[in-house]
Amino acid sequence: MSPEALSASDATRARVSAPGARTGAMLIALGVLWLALDVATGGLFLSPRNLVNLAVQASAVGVMATGMVLVIVARQIDLSIGSVLGFTGMVIAGLQVEDGLPGGPLPWPIALCAGIALACAIGAWHGAWVAYARLPAFVATLAGLLVFRGAAWLVSDGRTLAPLDATYTRIGGGLHGTIGATATWWLAAAISAGIAASRLSGWRRAPSSGGLARIALPAASLFGTVIAIAAIANSVPAPDGSPAGLPLPVLVLGAVALAVHGLATRTRFGRHVFAIGGNPRAAELAGIDVRGVTLRAFTLLGALAGVAAVLTTARLGAGTNSMGTLAELAVIAAAVLGGTSLAGGAGSVGGALLGALWMQSLENGMVLLDVTSALRQVAIGLVLLIAVAADARWRGAAP
Amino acid sequence: MLACAVPHRSAQLFLLALASLPGLTLRALAAAMLVSSALPAAAETEHPVVVGVSWSHFQEERWKIDEASLVAALGVRGARYLSADAQSSAEKQLADLENLVTRGADVLVVVAHDPDALRPALASARAAGIPVVAYDRLIESPDVFYLSFDNRRVGQIQAEQILAVRPGGRFAFIKGSPQDPNTEFVYAGQLDVLRPAIDAGRVQVVGDQYVDGWLPEVAQRVTEQILTRNGGRVDAFVCSNDGMAGGVAAALASGGRSGVPVSGQDGDQAALNRIALGRQTVSVWKDSRALGRAAAEVSVALAGGVRPEQIAGAQTFTTPGGVRVPALLLEPVAITRENLDRVIEAGWASRGAVCRGVAAGPEAPPACRPKP
Amino acid sequence: MSGAVLELVGLTKRFGGVTAVDGVSLTVPAGEVVALVGHNGAGKTTLVELLSGALRRDAGEIRVNGDSVALRSPREAQQAGIATLHQHLALADNLDAVANVFLGHERCTRIGLLDEDAMEREVLELLARLSPGFGAVREPVSRLSGGQRQLVAIARALRLDAKVLLMDEPTAALGPGERGRVTELVRRLTGDGLAILLVSHDLESALALAQRVAVMRRGRLVATRTSENLDAAALAALVVGGTD
């Protein structure tokens, strides 16, 4: 073997700690948790209705976790997003109700766009402080956490803002917030086709990595997952008795995750985010606009906090000033569980999604088991600790 | 002791600096010295009573209303109003209380975030002869005047109103924050009314959860899980406040379940609207304006040297810990779809806000029907 | 050969009270290697940073092919035709060779997505020229040997269609076999018409690679010699104490 060829063990280690393997491990962990909870709850946990509820419950945190991955990969952090969710949610509600904000009531699409634009601007605000004024992200976004939680209260002097437009609240899921059976099956078909196409093109690019059989198994399991999700969504009845289909928040979550994943892995911006995370100096010397990329990462996360605000207010049917309290911790935990390293340079959007699902499953299952809130907090904290320690060990195993 | 006369500003500042040193005894000592330095001055010149109010937070909408009414009543009596917002932090509230004392409060009104954490500050107030009123949330100390609505009665009313529409079945309890003493009072009141039915088997408890911080989103998720656990068959939610009732109602609505009784308290506008729309059964209204006015009355009286027993309407209340405290307990009111007019006429909420989205016709609640 | 030339005229850089580079004037003609030697702290790395756009000069002029260039950022230096091989290689360890070679200059398809196929092909081609048998372009570069990482960094520098190549301590982290490869590579590059400025504290290496050697001490250029009749000992003497 020439000195330049990799040794066999190097190759194995490379495969083991690749992002794909990490996501695979998360899937197994999720499967184990789900099975355990299902047994403990006597089959309740894996019932279609509960799984659908679970996905909806995890959607706001999941949406934000995808964006948090990029911020953490770039060696930054954002502690403000829970408060930003609360503030923009209050603004969106305030623009919709009659005695809310001045200028209202506005039609819900306008309120929604205004809210997301506002959240985007807030993200850019934090990004500018971090990227251009060179403030440590921890400090700048901690300030944001305080500022925007206070601002959320100021929107209506603490008053809960309700009711919201009936069409708007469909975005939060619930009775009329699903896309119906037909649309669900079409969506499943489209996604399956997309998976098949991308796997085939990947295989054509690197045919030497084992025959068609090598990609057949993972592709088949992906198809299986997509079909299973569609089937579960269609097992839950709508008010008129027909299958309800995929809830809108889950659709939003899926679309966001796909988009951010594409951004992270297939665009120049995503490549630059990872480069900055791996070696900021090298990125700078290579001519990358580090400050601009950082700003954009924060702006994206801000926008996603706005999307999460829409999901939360629509689901609650109201704007309450305490929305999103402590959400940033759940979001960061989800990202880290999913394989994003707090040191920067490594992360996975799919993993973060699974991390969010995992944490929400734990909470969801424990309430099913009637575990008290204090015990739930203890359990989630401990589990997070163990999971991250295991991850550190895993990374340490491969250099 | 330089205690008695420390009029000089720099000396007071020095004591202020001392007061910020770690060590509770040192702080209490410094606070006591400062306060006792202020009191002789008060006796010499006729200065308005200074009432220091330490708020726990303003997360629920009612607190702003409490504050407005308290401030107005103090204004009428010519008393001065000092305030601090602890923002749901026990540590901050401790600092706030010390701060109010050094700013010259003659009497303290405290909405305790965590009553047990306040002992040091209360001890130093006691040492300085400053009376303390516990506003809405109990502080278990014989020297502290407890001013509240009868929270146990709140729970009783919630349970009574639910039983009135649903005499039996599978009930779930959605309780408030475990750190808040009011949570237990309300729950005790609910059990007072429901215990006989539970023991007789008419009511089956199928869910029972505290909700940290009284957060509506958490109440929503918990409700979804309770519904799942019971296959959707839950006949009533005995919910302790309106914020959480919003989450419960949202969860019920998204599950397509209507007509399930839900209780609440605080008289939030959103809750009143839900009652008009039939999505909530009762909101126990504590006219916090009355509480604010009572607080102004009681605090000014105590500052003026009136003894607790002499306050009109005062009684002795035995706390869960067995401590006997002087108390004034106001009576809460049940607001249901039949008497929504009561809150509208009292100027608490507008008819427009309460009746928003209510379909016209014979099904509408009396308050929302056109007047003849 | 084109007339590609790097000219430094009176280049100066100060950090507070310290003058790290003091009025350095130097020319590097096309197809020639000039080695820059000197003690640690002599100003060699600062000079490279000035030329690569990582630092801005305080005085003096830099000319590429006769045109004065400003070099306000690494990107401007690259645009001016100056490619830099940094001492610590400036590679992103978490990315693979393809990503590193194209770092900052990624190729995109018409719809704006990364054109991984085209980039991979080009990298394989480039690396094949530099070192046949190098196939591990999809592993994170942290897994590659020192020599392989060097190759990736060189490939990146070469991709930029540079006229001038700055090499900061190119052989420092390499074993003897790999050093030989770098020497071969440098010869080939000069054959293509590149002007190379090579910084090294390894005097043997410098003499082997370069046609001319320039000695820096305390920010100043103190001596320039052709390497033909110079041996390491004489050069060492210059480094320590000589002046022109």
**Contact: chain A with chain C (3+ CB pairs below 8 Å):** yes
B63 touches A: beta carbon within 8 Å: yes
Which 318-347 residues of chain A touch chain C by CB within 8 A? Answer: 345-346
**pLDDT value of residue B161:** 96
Considering only CB atoms, A44 lies closest to which of B211, B228, B255, namely B228
Chain C positions touching A271 (Cβ under 8 A) are 95, 99, 106, 114
Chain B positions touching A377 (Cβ under 8 A) are 212
**pLDDT value of residue A20:** 66
How many domains is chain C partitioned into structurally?
Answer: 2
C86 in a domain, yes or no? Answer: no
Considering only CB atoms, C94 lies closest to which of A3, A268, A278, namely A278
> Cβ of C91 and A279 within 8 Å?
yes
A7: closest CA of chain B, how far (Å): 52
Q: Which positions ≥6 away from A58 have C-beta within 8 Å?
A: A253, A356, A357, A359, A360
Final residue belonging to a domain, choices C119, C143, C161: C161
Express each pLDDT in B123-139 by its tens digit: 888 888 899 999 988 89
What is the CATH number for C198? 3.40.50.300
Statement: residue B28 has pLDDT above 60: no
Out of A54-63, A332-341, B109-118, B345-354, the most confident range is: A54-63
A101: closest CA of chain B, how far (Å): 15
**pLDDT value of residue A5:** 38
Residue A78 in tokens: 């954002």
Express each pLDDT in A56-73 by its tens digit: 999 999 999 999 999 999
User: Residue written as tokens 């029972």?
Assistant: B208
CA C47, CA C167: separation in Å to the nearest integer? 12
**In a shared domain, residues C167 and C71:** yes
**pLDDT value of residue C4:** 52
Chain A positions touching B357 (Cβ under 8 A) are 163
> Cβ of C136 and A6 within 8 Å?
yes
Architecture of domain A47-177+247-397: Orthogonal Bundle (1.10)
C94 touches A: beta carbon within 8 Å: yes
Amino acid in the structure at residue B221: R
Statement: residue C190 has pLDDT above 60: yes
Chain B positions touching A99 (Cβ under 8 A) are 353
> Cβ of A163 and B63 within 8 Å?
no
C238: closest CA of chain A, how far (Å): 33
Q: Which positions ≥6 away from B238 have C-beta within 8 Å?
A: B158, B159, B162, B171, B172, B173, B174, B190, B194, B263
CA C108, CA C99: separation in Å to the nearest integer? 12
CA B8, CA B6: separation in Å to the nearest integer? 6
B206 touches A: beta carbon within 8 Å: no
> Cβ of A157 and B61 within 8 Å?
yes
Q: What is the mean pLDDT of residues A13-25?
A: 59
What chain B holds in terms of domains, given with CATH numbers, is 9-29+49-150+288-330 (3.40.50.2300)
When mean pLDDT is compared across B2-16, B46-60, B129-143, the lowest value belongs to B2-16
C54 touches A: beta carbon within 8 Å: yes
> Cβ of A320 and B254 within 8 Å?
no
Residue A122 in tokens: 């807030």
**pLDDT value of residue A125:** 97
When mean pLDDT is compared across A275-284, B109-118, C226-235, the lowest value belongs to C226-235
A391: closest CA of chain B, how far (Å): 29
C211: closest CA of chain A, how far (Å): 28
Q: Which positions ≥6 away from C77 have C-beta within 8 Å?
A: C51, C52, C53, C69, C71, C84
Residue A269 in tokens: 């911006």
- Please give the residue of chain A at the shortest CA–CA distance from B215: A322
pLDDT band at C205 (very low <50, low <70, confident <90, very high): confident
CA A170, CA A179: separation in Å to the nearest integer? 10
Chain B positions touching A159 (Cβ under 8 A) are 61, 268-269
| Angle of the A59-73 helix axis to the A248-266 helix axis, nearest 10 | 10
Q: Choose among C179, C224, C227: nearest CA to C203.
A: C227
> Cβ of A283 and C104 within 8 Å?
yes
Final residue belonging to a domain, choices C161, C196, C217: C161
Express each pLDDT in B224-277 by its tens digit: 999 999 988 999 999 999 999 999 999 999 888 889 999 999 999 999 999 999
Statement: residue A19 has pLDDT above 70: no
> Cβ of C94 and A345 within 8 Å?
yes
**pLDDT value of residue A374:** 86
Strand stretches in chain C, DSSP E: 6-15, 18-28, 33-37, 59-64, 67-68, 82-85, 164-168, 195-199, 212-217, 220-226
Q: What is the mean pLDDT of residues C75-94?
A: 88
Q: What is the mean pLDDT of residues B170-177?
A: 96
Q: What is the mean pLDDT of residues A286-292?
A: 93
> Cβ of B61 and A322 within 8 Å?
no
Please report all neighbours of B, defined by 3+ CB atom pairs within 8 A: A
The 3-state DSSP class for residue A32 equals helix
Residue B261 in tokens: 């009784």
The whole domain housing C118 covers: 92-161
**In a shared domain, residues C75 and C112:** no
Chain C positions touching A395 (Cβ under 8 A) are none
Considering only CB atoms, A163 lies closest to which of B211, B268, B273, namely B273
Mean pLDDT of chain A: 87
> Cβ of B58 and A153 within 8 Å?
yes
Express each pLDDT in A77-120 by its tens digit: 999 999 999 999 999 999 999 877 887 789 999 999 999 999 99
Which 59-78 residues of chain C touch chain A by CB within 8 A? Answer: 73-75, 78
Exposure string for A215-235, b = 16+ CB within 10 A, e = fewer:
beeebeebeeebeebbebbbe
Please report all neighbours of A, defined by 3+ CB atom pairs within 8 A: B, C
A204 touches C: beta carbon within 8 Å: no
The CA-CA-CA angle for residues A213, A215, A216, to 5°, reads 60
**In a shared domain, residues C196 and C173:** yes
CA A198, CA A210: separation in Å to the nearest integer? 17
Amino acid in the structure at residue C213: V
Statement: residue A373 has pLDDT above 60: yes
B297 touches A: beta carbon within 8 Å: no
**pLDDT value of residue A209:** 60
Residue C109: CB atoms within 10 Å: 12
Residue C205 in tokens: 């290496």
Q: What is the mean pLDDT of residues B9-27?
A: 47
CA C87, CA C107: separation in Å to the nearest integer? 26
Statement: residue A301 has pLDDT above 80: yes
Query: DSSP state, C132?
Result: T
CA B75, CA B69: separation in Å to the nearest integer? 10
C244: closest CA of chain A, how far (Å): 35
* Chain A interface disruption, residue of C94, C152, C178, most A CBs within 10 A: C94
- Please give the residue of chain A at the shortest CA–CA distance from B87: A150
Beta-carbon contacts below 8 Å between A and C: 99
Q: Give the number of residues written for chain C.
A: 244
Express each pLDDT in B359-369 by its tens digit: 888 778 888 88
Which 313-352 residues of chain B touch chain A by CB within 8 A? Answer: 352
> Cβ of A367 and B209 within 8 Å?
yes
For the sheet with B107-110, list strands across it.
Answer: B80-85, B50-55, B107-110, B132-135, B144-149, B324-330, B315-318
**In a shared domain, residues C147 and C170:** no
B320: closest CA of chain A, how far (Å): 22
Chain A positions touching C111 (Cβ under 8 A) are none
**pLDDT value of residue C242:** 56
Express each pLDDT in A165-223 by its tens digit: 889 999 998 778 888 888 999 999 999 898 888 878 777 766 656 666 667 777 787 88
CA dihedral (A118, A124, A128, A130) positive or negative? positive
Final residue belonging to a domain, choices C161, C178, C213: C161
CA C40, CA C169: separation in Å to the nearest integer? 12
Considering only CB atoms, A271 lies closest to which of C90, C99, C120, namely C99
Please report all neighbours of C, defined by 3+ CB atom pairs within 8 A: A
**pLDDT value of residue A397:** 55
When mean pLDDT is compared across A156-160, B27-31, B61-65, B320-324, the lowest value belongs to B27-31
